[in-house]
Structure 1
Amino acid sequence: MHKGKELSLNIRFCILSVLAVSLISVTITALLLTRYYGQKQYQTIGNICNGIIEARPDSRLLLAEVLKEHKEAPDMAAENNILPAFGYQPADFWDPSYISLFSGIGFAAGALLFILALWYRHKKELSRIKALTHYLGKVNTGAQGLLLETADDEYSRLQDEIYKTVTSLYQTRDEALKAKNNFADNLFNIAHQLKTPITAISLSNQMMLEHPSGIYPKQIKQQLHRLTRFEETLLLLSRIDAGTLVLERKEVDLFTVLTLAADHLQELFRQAKVSIDIPEMGAVSVMADLEWTMEAVINLFKNCMEHTPKLKTVHGTYEQNPLYAQILIWDEGPGFDKEDIPHLFERFYRGKNAKEGGIGIGLPLAKAIIEMQNGVISAGNTAEHHACFEIRIYSH
């Protein structure tokens, strides 16, 4: 509705401008043409008089009557015109008062319309500037959800750029607030994750001093290993966030990725009494970093292993279509809780069935690595209600 209104106002301005210019042009043209034909008429009558005198020199007194009747005569030189001798001037043959009056009225009307159009235009410009200034004033006070009226004039581009800039600033502010909140949450989670092993080390050290035993050094070593692994993962995530982790993407075979990841976890699978099944399904290659892709797959295999009952199996398959290569990893455990699925890849999130001692950054790390290689990762439950991870690495 506002756009139609602005368009109508611009049409009005154009109509007023055209009318004003037309009136002024017509008035000036009428004045020039009237003067021109007055001069022609004056010259013509002069030629007529010269012709009469040459024919009958004694007819000079009758010329005043003949002047009104004769219309046309051959052109003669202006210096031979006899009308000035009789006291005639060009103005004597056309009345400039009426022409000047109407021309003046027309010129004044055209000038008035033009001034009115300029005033109207100036008023609309001031209105648009005032609206933009008012909008920016509200933005500076923190008001949100304000939309400028849609218009169709020379300020439209400026309005669009202002709106884009304001929208971008809102988004930047929201992202900054979100990052600040995430930083506070991550700092709290990091402190919590550090507190647990440090407390365990402190207690083990105290117990070892009071009751020397071989078990306490082993417990301290386990907690130190946990701290080291936690530190390495945090440093890796910080490199990913900062964009300083460089991946060497080249053609790698998915069966090789899955088997190498399984080999790294062979001892853990043996201790958990869980088997792993990776059938060979042909050659499927993707452009990826072998080591880091394998790191992501290791985290997924490990998560499935930790939730798979003894003597059960973790499965890994792969396939390819024209759009992407797909990896499926699933277990034979109880599956994900429905409330946990939307949060599985959030940092430091631990589901209801999370294994004791977990940190909650393995899955977020896997997600970050896959997404850096033009891929996506998702989690859900199979038709048999087992936990399942799906990786898609796109060709383009």
Structure 2
Amino acid sequence: MKYLRNKEEKRFFFSLSFLSLLAISSNFLINRRAGVITLLICCAFSLTIYLYNRTRYQKIEELTNQIDEMLHGNQRLELHAEEGELAILSSQIAKMTVRLQEQSSSLKKEKEHLSSSLTDIAHQLRTPLTTLTMIGDFLSEPELSEQRRQELTRELLNMLKRMDQLITILLKIAKLEGQTVQYQPQKILIHELLTDSLQPFLIPLELKEMTVQLQGDHQAGLSIDASWTQEAIGNIIKNCIEHSEDGSILTLSYEQNALYTEITLSDTGKGIDSEDLPHIFERFYQGKNHHKNSFGVGLSLARMIITQQGGSLTAKNQQSGGALFTIRFYEDMLK
């Protein structure tokens, strides 16, 4: 019998057999009829235990075979057990199996995402590195004029600055995707948040003669990480400036209600091309009218920062023209 492979079961079986033989022998010495009755009772008792153990071990064997099939490629595990400790064990194994399958699927997706990320990063760095190599070759020419040397030096410095910006952005993306950013939410006035987000872009706004309109209750506040949220809003502002005509209007407005706090940023430019609209938040995506200095990661970075703080970021075109970006932080997510 298979269940006798279990040392405890074997010990129990032989102990029970010894006690049964002892009881039968004792009763036969006292009275033959009592010995026969004791023998029949012990046989029935032993048969009952045997049938019970055989059924239990069949269920355990079935459970073992199903787990073995799952481990060898069968992704579906169907466990059937009645009430009792075996049913509890089956239920826990089923939960563990589902969790392991989810983790396996998650690891597979992360592996694919990592491979895609490395490919994207390599592609983004290859272009400036190729340009730097070419500039280096030109600068090594002995007959190069001083004016051309200065032009190439400026281009070299600009390219190095661009690579430094790209690497900084890639490091931020890596931190966000690795869930290693420790957000420190604190109460801040939304008007102050938007004003601070505009500061780095005052000169570009002035150069393009753009008008900024800031609308909303000056007393409205929001509990978020100010530094990272400014980074996100700044990327959206940068996108609006790059895709707006000279003399256009940039509008930043906000409002609060019982459900959420909404911040909108809109421009009066040409808007987002219908083919680009579904992809503008994808990393390294560059639309038809992308800016020459754009890396295609600003809006992706902005969405990651906002969603990781429990918010949402969407984009659409206005009927009057221009793009409209909407940020929402829901009240139940902020508690």
Q: TM-score range by the shorter chain?
A: 0.7 to 0.9
What residue identity is the alignment partner of 1:305?
I
**Gap change, CA 1:275 and 1:149, over 3 Å in 2:** farther
Task: Report Cα offsets for 1:184-234 as digits up to 9, x if no partner.
Answer: 211111111112222223333444553432432222222111111111112
2:250 paired residue among 314, 326, 330: 314
Q: Does 1:192 align with 2:192?
A: no
* Distance in 2, Cα, partners of 1:269 & 1:193: 28
2:171 paired residue among 197, 218, 235: 235
* Aligned partners of 2:229 and 2:306 also within 8 Å: yes
* Aligned partners of 2:120 and 2:284 also within 8 Å: yes
Q: Does 1:216 align with 2:152?
A: yes
* Distance in 2, Cα, partners of 1:314 & 1:118: 83
Give percent identity, aligned residues only.
28
- What number of residue pairs does the alignment pair up? 296
More deviation in 201-210 or 293-302? 201-210
* Aligned partners of 1:336 and 1:386 also within 8 Å: yes
**Gap change, CA 1:211 and 1:272, over 3 Å in 2:** farther
Q: 1:347 offset after TM fit, Å?
A: 2.5
What residue identity is the alignment partner of 2:324?
C
Once superposed, what is the RMSD of the aligned Cα atoms? 3.0
Partner SS state of residue 195, structure 1:
helix
What residue identity is the alignment partner of 1:345?
F
Question: For residue 304 of structure 1, what is the aligned residue in structure 2?
Answer: 240
Question: For residue 160 of structure 1, what is the aligned residue in structure 2?
Answer: 91
Partner SS state of residue 187, structure 2:
strand
Task: Report Cα offsets for 1:110-134 as digits up to 9, x if no partner.
Answer: 7776555544432331232122111
Question: For residue 265 of structure 2, what is the aligned residue in structure 1?
Answer: 329
Question: For residue 259 of structure 1, what is the aligned residue in structure 2?
Answer: 195
Question: For residue 391 of structure 1, what is the aligned residue in structure 2?
Answer: 327
What residue identity is the alignment partner of 1:279?
Q
Question: For residue 11 of structure 2, what is the aligned residue in structure 1?
Answer: none
**Gap change, CA 1:156 and 1:248, over 3 Å in 2:** same
Q: Does 1:282 align with 2:218?
A: yes
* Aligned partners of 2:270 and 2:321 also within 8 Å: yes
What residue identity is the alignment partner of 2:146?
P
What residue identity is the alignment partner of 2:296?
G
* Aligned partners of 2:266 and 2:325 also within 8 Å: yes
* Aligned partners of 1:262 and 1:276 also within 8 Å: no
Q: 1:141 offset after TM fit, Å?
A: 0.9
* Distance in 1, Cα, partners of 2:212 & 2:316: 19
* Distance in 2, Cα, partners of 1:307 & 1:121: 77
* Distance in 2, Cα, partners of 1:113 & 1:277: 92
Question: For residue 291 of structure 1, what is the aligned residue in structure 2?
Answer: 227
More deviation in 283-292 or 378-387? 378-387
**Gap change, CA 1:113 and 1:351, over 3 Å in 2:** farther
Gaps in structure 2 of 5+ consecutive residues: 1-30
The TM-score with structure 2 as length reference comes to 0.76
More deviation in 309-318 or 185-194? 309-318
Q: 1:304 offset after TM fit, Å?
A: 1.9
Question: For residue 181 of structure 2, what is the aligned residue in structure 1?
Answer: 245
Question: For residue 110 of structure 2, what is the aligned residue in structure 1?
Answer: 179
**Gap change, CA 1:114 and 1:391, over 3 Å in 2:** farther
Q: 1:338 offset after TM fit, Å?
A: 4.6
What residue identity is the alignment partner of 1:296?
A
* Aligned partners of 2:185 and 2:223 also within 8 Å: yes
* Aligned partners of 1:252 and 1:286 also within 8 Å: yes
What residue identity is the alignment partner of 1:362?
G
2:283 paired residue among 347, 350, 368: 347
**Gap change, CA 1:264 and 1:112, over 3 Å in 2:** same
* Aligned partners of 2:232 and 2:303 also within 8 Å: yes
* Aligned partners of 2:77 and 2:94 also within 8 Å: no
Q: Does 1:370 align with 2:313?
A: no
What residue identity is the alignment partner of 2:299?
L
Task: Report Cα offsets for 1:65-93 as digits up to 9, x if no partner.
Answer: xxxxxxxxxxxxxxxxxxxxxxxxxxxxx
What residue identity is the alignment partner of 1:364?
S
